[in-house]
Chains A and B, each alone.
Chain A
Amino acid sequence: AIQMTQSPSSLSASVGDRVTLTCRASQGIGNDLGWYQQKPGKAPKLLIYSVSILQSGVPSRFSGSGSGTDFTLTVSSLQPEDSATYYCLQDYSYPYTFGQGTKLEIK
Chain B
Amino acid sequence: QVQVEESGGGVVQPGRSLRLSCAGSGFIFSSYSIHWVRQAPGKGLEWVAIISYDGRKIFYADAVKGRFTISRDNSRNSVYLEMTSLRREDTAIYYCARGPVIRAKYDVLDIWGQGTTVTVSS
Contact = CB atoms under 8 A, between A and B. Distances in A.
A53 B109 contact: no
Interface stretch (B14-22, B39-47, B80-88): B39-47
A38 B46 CA distance: 13
Contact of B47 (A50, A53, A98, A100): A98
Of listed B35, B47, B114, residue having the most chain A CB within 10 A:
B47
A91 interface: yes
A98 B95 contact: no
A66 interface: no
B95 A89 contact: no
Of listed A1, A44, A55, A96, residue having the most chain B CB within 10 A:
A96
B110 A55 contact: yes
B46 A98 contact: yes
Interface of A: 1, 32, 34, 36, 38, 43-46, 49-50, 53, 55, 85, 87, 89, 91, 94-101
Contacts of B35: 96
B45 A34 contact: no
B95 A32 contact: no
B113 A98 contact: no
A95 B107 contact: no
A15 to B, nearest CB: 26
Contact of A43 (B61, B108, B112): B112
Contacts of B97: 44
